[in-house]
Amino acid sequence: MSVWQGQPKPDKLSVDEALKQVKKGIRGITNKLYWGIVAMIALIVCAFIITFFFTFRSTATTIGILIILITMLMYLSLIVRHYHILNKHDLTQNPTEYLDTLKEYQKKRTKVIGWFYYTYMLLISTGLALYFIEVLERAPVYFKLITYGSTIVWFLFITFYLKPRMFRNEEEKLNLMIDRLIRLQEQFD
């Protein structure tokens, strides 16, 4: 008589456990997106206040802030779309449909994030460069060099060090959830 008689095999997850783990993973991603939306709205409000309630002599400064504001609005629309995709379906109602939604989300996300990120960084850099023209106008040369240099180093750090790790981590979480749902689906087939 087998020790596993009457119990699920150890390599297979129970349906409830698999659904609970996937729900927890999706909730983690949607919470992160939600707080990203809240933070982005706060930053957009700040940029709006700076643009329309502060007086700048140079139109380059205003154009720079407007570029940053438009870029942040683009990013906000992207994360709101991702939030709605992940949050609109109930996993327990139709796991197969949810699995298809997750796979489609993963494909679109990978494609969009790749080109959007570089567009985002280019626009933010351009906006900051235009903004700094007036803001750093009277600053000493060494301060201008430090400001522009640290901004460039920060963008390079984010682009080549932080971004790949963040996206790889999120991709692994999505792959894990998709894998769990596939294994769950195979148990019923």
164-184, pLDDT tens digit by residue? 888 888 888 888 888 877 877
Lowest mean pLDDT among 85-89, 131-135, 140-144, 165-169: 85-89
CB 163 within 8 A of CB 91: no
| pLDDT tens digits, one per residue of 16-39 | 777 777 778 888 888 988 999 999
DSSP letter at 14 equals -
Angle in degrees, 0-180, between the axes of helices 95-135 and 163-188, rounded to the nearest 10: 170
CB 28 within 8 A of CB 173: yes
Segment 78-91 mean pLDDT: 80
What predicted TM-score, i.e. pTM, was given to this entire model? 0.75
Residue written as tokens 């380059």?
60
Is pLDDT at 6 greater than 60 in this prediction? no
- Residue 74 binned pLDDT confidence (cut-offs 50, 70, 90): very high
pLDDT of residue 142: 94
Looking at this protein, which amino acid is placed at residue 35?
Answer: W
Segment 44-63 mean pLDDT: 86
pLDDT of residue 39: 93
Whether the CA torsion 27, 158, 50, 115 is positive or negative: it is negative
14/162: higher pLDDT: 162
